[in-house]
């Protein structure tokens, strides 16, 4: 996740209300905050789950804040694996009414505020911040064009139904789904070619996904397209739970 030196955040108590299966091995977890707090689309909370037999990956994780469809709750999206961390196993075992501690919000991976066209690049679970950002964009009248380039190793794209519905409703939203196991990994040239096809070549480029992907794409843009503004968000949870 991006660091945000300007946001101290606050200690939060969250009541777990339920979970929803999204696709494959990914679930959404929903919580109701016991105190008021404000956050910007794209920011995250740092969750703490105290438990026994803690493995080397620890008791805390950072997850992007995902608003529920009715905006009454906040959520997180998480993938689960057979050899997952003790943190993830504890998350799976939560029961409705359980209290979870968190700190935040934090993170500077948010809209630049210039209301200008944007290219959003997502890798796998990196779609999470864009769920909040696109819902905010939709709620505020979808006043600028967006081109989403979503790369995933399989055809099971997270939130695809929601994304496709937004695309139908807003002609200024373009989405490219890329199955990397078939089409190969994405790179700066591929992103710019797709953006050119949609007239978005000069837009700010946002990149969210695994740390290595974000780092490599940022390097490529700096080297090949130095005039393009690039904002990145690295999902370190990949390193903890892959």
Domain boundaries, the chain: 10-106, 118-235
Distance CA 190, CA 180 (A): 12
- pLDDT (0 to 100) of residue 8: 61
CB 53 within 8 A of CB 69: no
> What fold characterizes domain 118-235?
Rossmann fold (3.40.50)
Kindly state the average pLDDT of the residues 34-50: 93
Tell me the three state secondary structure of residue 135: helix
Question: Of 179, 123, 122, 171, which is closest to residue 146 (Cα–Cα)?
Answer: 171
pLDDT, tens only, 132-155 = 999 999 999 999 999 999 999 999
155-205 residue pLDDT tens: 999 999 999 999 999 999 999 999 999 999 999 999 999 988 665 666 899
pLDDT for res 116: 81
- In CATH, what number does 10-106 get? 2.40.30.10
pTM of the model: 0.90
Those residues whose C-beta lies under 8 Å from the C-beta of residue 7, and which sit 6 or more positions away, are: 43, 104, 105, 106, 107, 108
Structure token pair of residue 213: 């992907």
Burial class from Cβ neighbours inside 10 Å (0-12, 13-18, 19+) for residue 129 reads buried
Residue 134: C-alpha distances to residues 25, 63, 193 (Å)? 23, 17, 23
Q: Over 90: is that where the pLDDT of 1 sits?
A: no
- Compute the radius of gyration of the chain from its Cα atoms: 18
């Amino acid at each position: 996740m991006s660091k945000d030196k300007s946001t101290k955040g606050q200690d939060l108590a969250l009541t777990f209300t339920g979970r929803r299966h999204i696709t494959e091995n990914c679930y959404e977890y929903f919580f109701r905050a016991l105190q008021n707090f404000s956050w910007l689309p794209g920011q995250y909370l740092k969750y703490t789950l105290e438990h026994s037999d803690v493995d080397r990956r620890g008791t805390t994780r950072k997850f992007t804040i995902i608003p529920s469809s009715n905006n009454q709750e906040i959520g997180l999206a998480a993938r689960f694996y057979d050899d997952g961390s003790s943190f993830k196993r504890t998350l799976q075992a939560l029961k409705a009414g359980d209290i979870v501690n968190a700190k935040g919000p934090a993170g500077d991976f948010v809209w630049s505020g210039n209301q200008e066209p944007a290219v959003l690049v997502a890798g796998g679970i990196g779609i999470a911040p864009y769920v909040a950002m696109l819902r905010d964009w939709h709620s505020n009248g979808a006043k600028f064009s967006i081109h989403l380039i979503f790369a995933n190793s399989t055809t099971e794209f997270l939130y695809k139904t929601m994304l496709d519905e937004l695309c139908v409703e807003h002609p200024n939203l373009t989405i490219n789904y890329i199955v990397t196991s078939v089409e190969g990994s994405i790179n700066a040239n591929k992103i710019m070619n797709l953006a050119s096809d949609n007239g978005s070549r000069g837009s700010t480029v946002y990149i969210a996904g695994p740390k290595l992907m974000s780092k490599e794409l940022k390097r490529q843009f700096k080297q090949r397209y130095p005039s393009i503004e690039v904002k990145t968000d690295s999902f370190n949870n990949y390193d903890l739970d892959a």
